[in-house]
């Protein structure tokens, strides 16, 4: 089966379990705070790969006037995201299609979406985000640091698989700089997996400067 198709089906199946485990995780809250520091109270945000809307819920609790459009490939995730964030506009979309969006945004959040995108698709996503941002717009993007050669299928406790892509900061940084993003923050978090092993999670926050075209 196509790698992406299996990944999408797994996410759709595991939406409820993901919500149970991650809806109230506070590990990344300080990184959301750094992102919020760059936003005006009424900013228009796009969230890509929003899952059950856990990040949107945190952002809206802190800044209730934000106007959030949130998308995800999984209809079940979108159902949960909409329930968890009645004021947001949540809809199904593949992150590879965001260039079709006709609005501009002051901020874009992509929380652990690129672990499910290949390097070329990630490069396109960064480019598309640049086009969708207003001047001074801010991009939040998180990923799992690792050797891209170790990318492959991963199965969780249910046995369902996703194709998981490790990304290297130096490659992502080069993509962002090529699109004239100014890197504001790079934060690392140590994440303990169920099996006791630790992963390095990285969060980059970058700004699209004025007149970057
Ligand atoms: C690890 S979850 C992240 C959820 C949330 N953003 C967070 O940080 O907790 C990954 C999400 O990305 C979505 N996803 C994976 N590939 C996608 C794609 N090509 N387009 C849109 N969403 C995708 C999955 O459906 C899932 O909801």
**From the CB of 74, is ligand 1 less than 6 Å away?**
yes
CB of 128 sitting under 6 A from ligand 1: no
Q: Is 11 in the pocket of ligand 1 (CB under 6 A)?
A: yes
CB atoms within 10 A of CB 102: 6
Distance CA(121)–CA(85), nearest Å, equals: 28
Could you tell me the two tokens for 87? 């004021």
Expressed in angstroms and rounded, the spacing between residue 20 Cα and the centre of ligand 1 is 15
As a residue count, the chain comes to 213
DSSP state of 190: E
Least confident of 77-81, 181-185, 189-193, 203-207: 189-193
Report which of 65, 212, 28 is spatially closest to residue 137, judged by C-alpha positions.
212
Q: In terms of C-beta density within 10 A (0-12 exposed, 13-18 middle, 19 or more buried), how is residue 49 classed?
A: buried
Q: What are phi and psi of 7, to 5 degrees?
A: -60, -45
Select from 135, 198, 203 the least CA-distant residue to 167: 203
Shortest-distance atom of ligand 1 to CA 15: 27
Sketch out the chain's domains with CATH numbers.
3-207 (3.40.50.150)
The fraction of the chain above a pLDDT of 90, given in percent, is 93
Compute the mean pLDDT over every residue in the chain, rounded to the nearest whole number. 96
pLDDT tens for 103-148 read 999 999 999 999 999 999 999 999 999 999 999 999 999 999 999 9
Render pLDDT for 152-197 as a digit per residue (tens, 0 to 9): 999 988 999 999 999 999 999 999 999 999 999 999 999 998 888 8
For residue 56, give both structure tokens.
């949107």
């Amino acid at each position: 089966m196509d790698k992406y198709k299996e990944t999408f089906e797994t996410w759709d199946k595991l939406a409820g379990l993901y919500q149970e485990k991650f809806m109230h995780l506070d590990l990344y809250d300080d990184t959301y705070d750094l992102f919020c520091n760059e936003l005006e109270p009424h900013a228009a945000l796009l969230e890509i790969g929003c899952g059950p809307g856990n990040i949107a819920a945190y952002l809206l609790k802190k800044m209730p006037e934000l106007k959030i459009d949130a998308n995800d490939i999984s209809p079940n995730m979108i159902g949960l995201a909409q329930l968890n964030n009645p004021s947001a506009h949540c809809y199904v979309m593949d992150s590879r299609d965001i260039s079709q969006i006709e609005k501009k945004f002051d901020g874009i959040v992509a929380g652990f979406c690129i672990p499910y995108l290949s390097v070329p698709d990630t490069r396109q996503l960064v480019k598309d985000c640049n086009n969708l941002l207003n001047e001074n717009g801010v991009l939040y993007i998180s990923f799992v640091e690792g050797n891209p050669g170790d990318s492959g299928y991963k199965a969780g406790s249910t046995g369902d698989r996703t194709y998981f892509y490790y990304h290297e900061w130096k490659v992502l940084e080069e993509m962002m700089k090529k699109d004239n993003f100014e890197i504001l923050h790079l934060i690392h978090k140590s994440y303990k997996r169920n099996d006791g092993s630790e992963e390095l999670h990285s969060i980059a926050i970058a700004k699209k400067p004025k007149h970057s075209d």
